[in-house]
Structure 1
Amino acid sequence: MVKLKTIGPRLGTIAPLIARPERDTRQARIEQDSRAEYRRWYKLARWKAKPNGLRWQVLVRDGFTCQRCGYLTRDTNASDMVADHIAPHRGVEALFWDADNVQCLCKACHDGAKQREERRGWA
């Protein structure tokens, strides 16, 4: 059996040729998303104000219960709950503000399964 002692030092020179580009698709998507006009809608009182904002109304309507896994929070600040758009609005204002298109999800479901589905184009 032949020992390959000389290949080790050469692997370091090959890596840059086959490595991923510095700017991967995830980072590009984050940058594109941050420039999108609709991102400012999430900062409006119409979205996040407590008694009247759409986010709060949906959390109350759904009883602070995750619509996927059934997790129920006792935290009235609802920091572990997310008001999630069922069908991605992709900047369509009418779809963004439609209360029937928003559901209550726990942060784990929203950041995990739901995001994977959207990236795959299932949502």
Structure 2
Amino acid sequence: MGRLKSLGSSLSRLDAPLTYLPNDDRAARRNPLRHLYGTARWRRLSWDVRLAAAFTCAMCGRIEGAKGQTAADHIEPHRGDPALFWARSNLQCLCKPCHDGVKQAEEARTR
């Protein structure tokens, strides 16, 4: 416990206040439903979407067989609307490059 006591005095000498903490609520304000991505319900829905699409990207047509190389993507951004978040008809299968690059850039432009 001696180390923890000495850490307190080091923290008080920080030049600038910390601007980001892992539990910061800024991410939650941007996407209030973010916590739902970790639920069993989302994992099941995501799997069903990708399986129905035969792991084929709706944008580029790439077929991905490796685990984690596809994502269930919201066609219309849900922007915190639970009905739109869970709507199966609003989901598509995308490969990681299309989801993480092309689609995210499109959504950033429309914000």
TM-score with structure 2 setting the length? 0.72
Letter of the aligned partner of 2:35 in structure 1?
R
Mapped to 2, the partners of 1:63 and 1:117 lie a distance apart of 24
Q: Quote the residue 2:26 is aligned against.
A: 32
Higher RCO (C-alpha under 8 Å, 6+ residues apart) = 2
Return the match for 1:86 from 70, 75, 78. Answer: 75
Q: Quote the residue 2:102 is aligned against.
A: 113
Q: CA RMSD in A?
A: 2.0
Mapped to 1, the partners of 2:53 and 2:26 lie a distance apart of 31
Q: Quote the residue 1:42 is aligned against.
A: 37
How many residue pairs get matched? 88
Counting aligned pairs with the same residue, the percent is 47
Unaligned runs of 5+ in 2: 1-18, 20-24
Runs of 4 or more off by more than 6 Å in structure 1?
none
Letter of the aligned partner of 2:27 in structure 1?
D
Q: Quote the residue 1:69 is aligned against.
A: 60
Letter of the aligned partner of 1:119 in structure 2?
A
Greater CA radius of gyration, 1 or 2? 1
Mapped to 2, the partners of 1:89 and 1:41 lie a distance apart of 12
Unaligned runs of 5+ in 1: 1-22, 24-30
